[in-house]
């Protein structure tokens, strides 16, 4: 992976160098906080699954329970994707655009999976479909034009 230093810690102006170091430290703190959020999310998945299984009928899940569990799982996976975005940015100092688009696709896919189509208006469903189509085309074009390694 090539290094493109958008925030060089060595700079002619000492103030700018200090500010760049402060920003990099902030990004590292975000990575630490994201790991905490991921662990918290895993604990939430366990709790949601436990709560769904302990209510009558015991050890059985209905469709809404399964969708809640899928939503919790996908939320944790989205947090992992965001963590990967942060780490990749720290390693290369370049925003990993293709990974950001993939994360957005996963987030909108999570939304579609947990949607209750009985209560939604058609315009909301159409808007979600438009967002998915736009992100999918963007992801395809990024993959076609840039051979970015993730």
Three-state secondary structure readout of the chain: CCCCCCCCCCCCCHHHHHHHHHHHHHHHHHHHHHHHHHHHHHHHHHHHHHHHHHCCCCCCCCHHHHHHHHHHHHHHHHHHHHHHHHHHHHHHCCCCHHHHHHHHHHHHHHHHHHCCCCCCCHHHHHHHHHHHHHHHHHHHHHHHHCCCCC
What's the mean pLDDT when you consider all of the chain? 84
Lowest mean pLDDT among 49-53, 64-68, 97-101: 64-68
> pLDDT of 1-54, one tens digit each?
345 456 666 778 888 888 888 988 999 999 999 999 999 999 988 988 888 888
CA dihedral 110, 106, 87, 97 (to 10 degrees): -140
| Distance (Å, whole) CA 9 – CA 14 | 9
In angstroms and rounded to an integer, the radius of gyration of the C-alpha atoms of the chain is 20
pLDDT score recorded for residue 7: 66
- Cβ atoms of residues 98 and 150 within 8 Å: yes
Burial 23-38 (b: 16+ CB within 10 A, else e): eeeeeeebbeebeebb
Q: For the chain, which residues make up each domain, given as ranges?
A: 14-145
């Amino acid at each position: 992976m090539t290094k493109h230093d958008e925030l060089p810690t060595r700079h002619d102006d000492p103030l700018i160098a200090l500010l760049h170091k402060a920003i990099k430290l902030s990004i590292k703190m975000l990575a630490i906080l994201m790991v905490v959020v991921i662990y918290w999310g895993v604990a939430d998945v366990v709790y949601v699954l436990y709560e769904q299984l302990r209510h009558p009928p015991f050890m059985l899940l209905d469709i809404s329970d399964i969708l809640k569990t899928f939503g919790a799982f996908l939320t944790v996976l989205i947090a992992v994707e965001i963590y990967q975005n942060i780490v990749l940015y720290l390693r290369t100092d370049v925003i990993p655009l293709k990974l950001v688009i993939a994360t957005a696709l996963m987030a909108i896919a999570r939304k579609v999976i947990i949607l209750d189509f009985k209560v939604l208006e058609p315009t909301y469903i159409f808007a979600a479909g438009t967002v998915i189509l736009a992100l999918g085309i963007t992801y395809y074009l990024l993959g076609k034009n840039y051979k970015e390694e993730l």
